[in-house]
Amino acid sequence: MRLLKLAAATAVLATLLAGGAVGDEMRPVRIGTEGAYPPFNSIDPSGKLIGFDIEIADALCAAAKFKCEFIIQDWDGMIPALQANKFDAIIASMSVTAKRKEVVDFTGKYYSSPAKFIGAEGTEFDFTQGSGLVGKTIGVQGSTIHEDFARAKWPQAEVVTYATQDEANADLASGRLDLVMANGVALLDGFLKTPEGQGFVFVGDDYRDPDFHGEGAGIAIRKGEQELVDAFNAAIKQIRADGTYKAINDKYFDFDIYGD
């Protein structure tokens, strides 16, 4: 009898560690996201969170049998809020980098997109790393891989930081900046395809420097919560295999944003 009870208890524990539900009770998981980075995460006029990150998060929670709640958090406080237990995971297009791995754990990637510049159509720039963009102003969202990359590679430019990507884009449109750097897909869908983005184009190369841009966008989780990492990794594999990922991908993009 004791062996039977032990086996039953072990089975329940295994289910919990897998991140799933026990019986009809689903594990609550709080998801931190920004809500200011279209098309990945933003807030529509009705106040609803929308975007690729949000739909992927919903699909992952369904696959892992989590009961998920979204919590909106400013980008520059995202990791501190995770560490302070404001939420359990970050799904907000956060790139998996060695620097961030020092303070949080990550799942594998759920998408990958290069960094790019945009500038006024017809304007020429010298993008030589180390010596180019002398005296030019580059707008970036603060506390991002793009800020770190721009400062390191173009030290003779002035790097101007913003709380949100939309604010950086607005200053480019108004002529206060020469260039903006960010996730290329976010710049295309969040600015170049909008009325405000008319007259602006991609300039320069695609940038995928592993020292700065990491391994793609992953889900950040507090150190020491490996069961949650494993559950999300299993869910990513599941939605990639069963067609859920492709259905969401094709709603937003005409290419596979997961990447190689």
Q: Which of 171, 232, 230, 182 is nearest to 204 (CA)?
A: 182
Specify the long-range contacts of residues 12-19, CB closer than 8 Å, at least 24 apart: 16/227, 17/227, 17/230, 18/227, 18/230, 18/231, 18/234, 19/64, 19/65, 19/66, 19/227, 19/228, 19/230, 19/231, 19/232, 19/234
E-strand stretches of 49-88: 49-50, 66-72
**pLDDT above 60 (res 1):** no
Select the more confidently predicted residue: 252 or 9.
252
pLDDT at 20: 55
pLDDT at 24: 59
Q: Would you place residue 13 in the very low, low, confident or very high pLDDT band (cuts 50, 70, 90)?
A: very low
Q: Note the pLDDT tens digit of each residue in 50-109.
A: 999 999 999 999 999 999 999 999 999 999 999 999 999 999 999 999 999 999 999 999
Question: What domains appear along the chain, each with residue ranges and CATH number?
Answer: 20-112+215-252 (3.40.190.10), 115-213 (3.40.190.10)
Q: Which of 108, 95, 188, 70 is nearest to 149 (CA)?
A: 95
Q: Note the pLDDT tens digit of each residue in 128-150.
A: 999 999 999 999 999 999 999 99
Select the more confidently predicted residue: 36 or 8.
36
**pLDDT above 50 (res 37):** yes
Residue listed under structure tokens 């009809």: 24
**pLDDT above 50 (res 229):** yes
pLDDT at 8: 38
Q: Phi first, then psi: what are they for 247, rounded to 5°?
A: -65, -40
Q: What's the average model confidence in pLDDT over 180-191? A: 96
pLDDT at 195: 97
Q: What's the average model confidence in pLDDT over 239-255? A: 97
Identify the weakest region by mean pLDDT among 9-13, 20-24, 168-172, 237-241.
9-13
Prior bond of 39 cis (ω within 30°): yes
